[in-house]
Structure 1
Amino acid sequence: MPHFDVAIVGAGAAGLFCAAQAGQRGLKVLLLDHASRVAEKIRISGGGRCNFTNRHLDIRTGHQHYLGQNPQFARSALSRFTPQDFIALVQRNGIAFHEKHKGQLFADHSAQDIIAMLLDACDRTGVQRWQPCTIDRIDHIDTGNTAQGAGRYRLHTAKGIVQAHSLVVATGGLSIPKIGATDFGYRIAKQFGLPIVALRPGLVPLRFAGDDWAPYAGLAGVALPVRIATGEKKQAMAFEEDLLFTHRGLSGPAILQISSYWQPGQSLRIDLLPQLDVAAALQKAKATTRKLLPNVLAQWLPGRLADAWCQRQSAWQGPVNQCSDKALAQLAQSLSGWQLTPSGTEGYAKAEVTVGGVDTQALSQQSMEAKGKPGLFFIGEVVDITGWLGGFNFQWAWASAHACAQALEAAPAPAA
């Protein structure tokens, strides 16, 4: 039976990076994945160019870009492997990259460059990779050598039975099942008695009921910058990002960001013109032009949206100089305080991440090791840490993988 210092389940961002880092430390590493293609989520991310980190992440307040029952849990790993550390790695490998928006870094050529970098690091350090390879069962074998913390993990795989001193679960979440996402990591956690924080889709488009959405269904493809908010008091969250109308609801960065915080039944509050004092601008237009109100709005909004918006009330369809002050005030309020309640999300099929996961209370924030379960580690998306849109989830994958890899131990030598 083959023996390894560590078996890593899941060859995505976290699993690949952890394997390479552990290999660099001289450990004997086995990396397994059930999918036939490696790192599919890296490959499709960022429009195929992989938004691999965000240079604006401040290690002193980095947890503010994450959610979970305890976002502070992420600080330790994020402070010990920073965006600058991963940027330096990308530069050493000669991968050209650029910044698009708000610190978001993308490979110039292709996400495949990032995958190739990680695979090369694994190959150079002797990591054995079995893919595709399913796992039928995982057993914990207690050797009784507690002085050395010598737990053993036996994996019954499609390529035979293997044994490892440590087991790292890097299986990701439920998002995008068509590229291989499963609940396998959560099942492993439950097998070993670790609690799971309730799962739901994150960074996902939102849907609206048919009748409520009918006035806007024809706006698919319209995009504009907005300010969007949900929740109340301490649970309130807001973002200023671009909004995109779709046939069934809303998407774009603004919606993806807020979706991770939105709860079923809550309303969204959207300011469609956050950089404009709409009431004052409409009063000025009333005093200076005879344009139809939809044409006035088209100075600040996409034309299709301006037309559709003014169709909501007959008082908003005539010349602006003939509109009453009350009608203009109502129009201004509707644009700056649009409230609507989603009927749901587009689900895991369209979600970029999974919110929830292995409860961080059951893990060490220094090593990602399960408390009371020597040699069992959970890293990346399978953990209850979810980042904002813009490279923060990949940075959590790198950082949690690095923290884990530095804590892994070689298997103790057999007793003489």
Structure 2
Amino acid sequence: MNADAIIIGAGACGLMCAVQAGYLGKKVIVLEKNEKPGSKILISGGGRCNYTNQFASAEQFISANPHFIKSAFTQWTVDDTIGFFETYGIAGKEKTLGQLFPDDKNAKDVVQVFTSICEDFGQEIRCSADVKDIEILPEGFKVSYEKNGKTVVLTAEKLVIATGGLPIPKMGATDFALRFARKHDLKIIETAPALVPLTITGKDEEWFAQLSGNSVFCEVSNDEISFEENILFTHWGLSGPAILQISSFWRRGETINLNLLPHQNMVALLDEERKTNGKTLLSTLLNRMYTKKFTDALGKFLPLSKPVAALTKAEIDLIEQTIHHFKVKPAGDKGYDKAEVMRGGIDTNEISSKTLECKKIPNLFFGGECLDVTGWLGGYNFQWAWASGFVIAKNL
């Protein structure tokens, strides 16, 4: 045997697994298809890396089995993540909504933590290693990979598949884990892009496109959930944190609701203005809340040039509906190229929640994004990656 375990994938889960295995005195070899480890870590948060969230719990994850991650999150907590990085000189600084970023460091420093520890423990990270075949042996696994045109064969008693999901193919994302799972009759929960911008086509396309670059603080909701953060208008539709969040819960054909003024009551504002200065134009009032460009665009629906005192009840109802219940029916999403994560994946019923070992194939472990565990935007998916890497390492 070449090692105690082979880890396929040097992303967040695979790297944490290698490090934690090193602490426990286990020898692993990590195989990474890309030229360097941690490719997705390096681009996360615009290179700043939102590495966890102070509020992370099972509540912020989508899965066919919402209880699945509770065991992992008990074994490796947010405090464990914070303490781990602080030990290696990365202190967390909260940006908003519990999101922790390295205070005076960045994503490169996060990856450096893992590569340095691996080096200290003698854990090998072999990059540009394209795994071509996995053979299940009576005593373990035989993994064949190609590097520089040559085929290399490794054997180990245990195997970890932490190859991530389908988003950002240009960063080397593949369906490797899903293909392997299907080949061995493991159930897959239907996959789709998540945390992804939404597109608008048809008669509304031009209206959204003219607002490209405008950002508005909103409550975005559907029948299932709501999020309060900024939305960003683009030349092809909608993006921004609140849209990315709702996208994980949106299904094609559904309508989403935008409350364009979540912390104020538009009717009350009109009443107040009517009492103080009824001659104020509706456009003037709306310009206090929005950019002029956005207010002007609302002129497609609203009587902007009318003084507030002259508004009829029907017009006030229209204003209230437009501001607090703006309906959008996206045509689709921007796909895996622009998605931050994948929804769905290998069915968690195929995996032990306590050890992350595959129930049908002993000594095989799955972790990270390839499983049917999808977190909200804001560091939650990293927390799952670290936790799953730790749990697997304990059981190698």
Interval containing the TM-score (normalised by the shorter chain): over 0.9
> Which residue among 51, 75, 84 is the counterpart of 1:80?
75
> Which residue among 287, 309, 315 is the counterpart of 2:298?
309
Alignment of 1:14-413 (within 5 A): 14-57=13-56, 62-107=57-102, 108-142=104-138, 151-158=139-146, 159-231=151-223, 236-289=224-277, 290-313=279-302, 315-408=303-396
Q: What's the offset of the Cα at 1:319?
A: 2.5
What is the distance in 2 between the residues matched to 1:160 and 1:32? Answer: 11
Q: What's the offset of the Cα at 1:90?
A: 1.0
**Secondary structure at the residue paired with 1:30?**
strand
- Cα offsets for 1:339-359 (capped at 9, x unmatched): 111000000000000001010
Q: What's the offset of the Cα at 1:97?
A: 3.1
What is the distance in 1 between the residues matched to 2:208 and 2:185? Answer: 47
- Cα offsets for 1:101-124 (capped at 9, x unmatched): 011000132111110001111111
What is the distance in 2 between the residues matched to 1:202 and 1:156? Answer: 32
What is the distance in 2 between the residues matched to 1:330 and 1:283? Answer: 15
- Cα offsets for 1:125-144 (capped at 9, x unmatched): 111111111111110012xx
- Cα offsets for 1:175-229 (capped at 9, x unmatched): 0111110111111112222111111000000001132222231111111211111
Q: What's the offset of the Cα at 1:3?
A: 2.0
What is the distance in 2 between the residues matched to 1:191 and 1:139? Answer: 12
What is the distance in 2 between the residues matched to 1:312 and 1:336? Answer: 13
Q: Which moved more, 1:31-40 or 1:289-298?
A: 289-298
- Counterpart AA for 1:182: T
- Counterpart AA for 1:131: C
Q: What's the offset of the Cα at 1:284?
A: 2.0
CA contact (8 A) 1:316 1:327 kept: no
**CA RMSD, 1 decimal:** 1.2
**Secondary structure at the residue paired with 1:295?**
helix
Q: What's the offset of the Cα at 1:301?
A: 2.1
- Counterpart AA for 2:136: H
CA contact (8 A) 1:228 1:254 kept: yes
What is the distance in 2 between the residues matched to 1:205 and 1:55? Answer: 25
Show the counterpart of 1:6.
Answer: 5
Q: What's the offset of the Cα at 1:295?
A: 1.6
Q: What's the offset of the Cα at 1:293?
A: 1.2
Q: What's the offset of the Cα at 1:80?
A: 1.0
**Secondary structure at the residue paired with 1:129?**
strand
- Cα offsets for 1:31-65 (capped at 9, x unmatched): 001111211111111121100001122xxxx1111
What is the distance in 1 between the residues matched to 2:205 and 2:271? Answer: 30
**Runs of at least 4 residues off by over 4 Å:** none
What is the distance in 2 between the residues matched to 1:372 and 1:188? Answer: 13
Q: Which moved more, 1:197-206 or 1:92-101?
A: 92-101
Q: What's the offset of the Cα at 1:291?
A: 2.6
CA contact (8 A) 2:283 2:305 kept: yes
User: TM-score, with normalisation over the residues of structure 1?
Assistant: 0.91
What is the distance in 1 between the residues matched to 2:49 and 2:315? Answer: 47
Q: What's the offset of the Cα at 1:288?
A: 2.7
- Counterpart AA for 1:302: T
What is the distance in 1 between the residues matched to 2:363 and 2:91? Answer: 37
Q: Which runs of 5+ in 2 are unaligned?
A: none
What is the distance in 1 between the residues matched to 2:320 and 2:205? Answer: 21
**Secondary structure at the residue paired with 1:112?**
helix
Q: What's the offset of the Cα at 1:329?
A: 2.1
What is the distance in 1 between the residues matched to 2:251 and 2:280? Answer: 41
Show the counterpart of 1:412.
Answer: none
What is the distance in 2 between the residues matched to 1:323 and 1:109? Answer: 54
Q: Which runs of 5+ in 1 are unaligned?
A: 143-150, 409-416
In the comparison of the two structures, how many residue pairs are matched?
390
What is the distance in 1 between the residues matched to 2:276 and 2:211? Answer: 30
- Counterpart AA for 1:93: Y
What is the distance in 2 between the residues matched to 1:116 and 1:298? Answer: 48
What is the distance in 2 between the residues matched to 1:336 and 1:307? Answer: 17
- Cα offsets for 1:236-295 (capped at 9, x unmatched): 111111111111111111000000000111100111001011111112223333232112
